[in-house]
Amino acid sequence: MGSEATLSEPPLRQSQSGGVRTLTLNRPHRRNALTLELWGALHDALRAAAHDPAVRALVLTGAGGAFCSGADVVDSDPYAAPFPKLRAVTEVAQQLHELSVPTVAKVRGVAVGAGWNLALGCDLVVATPDATFSEIFSRRGLSLDCGGSWLLPKLVGVQQAKRLALLGETIDAAQAHALGLVTWIESAEEIDGFVDEIAARLAAGPPIALAQIKALINEGADRTMREALAGESRAQAVAFATADVPEAYAAFGQKRPPSFTGEWNVRRPDSRT
């Protein structure tokens, strides 16, 4: 009866607390393995988050003690044309990368294959000590997907990226943290509160400035210094045109926390008839 109830639930749960939206992969009976239905639900949820001004930060996690065990090979047909699935994978990875709000992956248990790359596609990764990670593709006769070939070398360098991808070995949270693939390790008892605090801090930040910081860093690895400086100048000009800058200055002078809104602060010239 319990498993029937689980199977009847949506493959992706969504919740909102303040400015933080949480997306929970919800196939615990399969350790949240990814199906076309779940990819589609992620696509729709990320698109909705991108267009909802109430979303100031996003948390991605998994139900039932696992983050995501990758593609569901049990429910997949190895002889089916791969293009619909690959299109879904590509679109979700691109949406997650380009989402303007900060994203946090909360990882318990396994994060494997595309599941791990979904976590790496987030801006910050928090894991429990028992979390395990694997770019398992080569052990399945497959190559990387969900952005892994772009993310890994930028995060750990070419040689370590090749090690992880070619061998498909499993590493633990401590190893992932040492490589820079996990931002923080928190105990199973404390990870929820820790992620809530981090996400709330991000949601309270200046939304326009944070969006531009994220974009500049994402793009910076592929730019020359001259291009990066030009991009920073454009982004800073936009930031100065928001109400958040004078609000930050006023809050500093008044010794209070700032209240950021991201509102535009360009005044129209006085109209004279």
Alpha-carbon distance of 120 to 164, in angstroms, equals 13
Residue 102 has pLDDT above 90, yes or no: yes
206 vs 273 pLDDT, higher one: 206
3-state secondary structure of 113: coil
Task: End-to-end CA distance of the chain: give it in Å, rounded.
Answer: 75
Q: Band of the pLDDT at 269, cuts 50, 70, 90?
A: low
Q: Hey, what are 19's tokens?
A: 């400015």
Q: Hey, what are 6's tokens?
A: 């689980």
Query: Averaged over 12-36, what is the pLDDT?
Result: 97
Q: Which residues contact 207 (CB under 8 A, 6 or more apart)?
A: 56, 100, 101, 244, 260, 261, 262
Strand order in 57-62's β-sheet? 12-17, 20-25, 57-62, 103-107, 124-127, 184-185
3-state secondary structure of 88: helix
Q: Which phi and psi angles does 74 have, rounded to 5°?
A: -70, -45
| Ranges of each domain in the chain | 2-203, 207-253
According to the model, what pLDDT value does residue 75 have? Answer: 63
Tell me the chain's radius of gyration from C-alpha atoms: 20
Query: pLDDT tens digits for 176-230?
Result: 999 999 999 999 999 999 999 999 999 999 999 999 999 999 988 788 878 888 8
Query: Averaged over 107-129, what is the pLDDT?
Result: 97
According to the model, what pLDDT value does residue 242 have? Answer: 93
CATH class of segment(s) 2-203? alpha beta
Closest alpha carbon to 49 in 103, 111, 108: 103
Q: Are 242 and 264 in contact (CB under 8 A)?
A: yes
According to the model, what pLDDT value does residue 227 have? Answer: 85
Residue 157, sorted as left (phi over 0), alpha (psi -120 to 50) or beta, turns out to be: left
- Look over the chain and give the mean of its residue pLDDT values, rounded to a whole number: 91
Query: pLDDT tens digits for 129-176?
Result: 999 999 999 998 889 999 999 999 999 999 999 999 999 999 999 999
According to the model, what pLDDT value does residue 28 have? Answer: 97
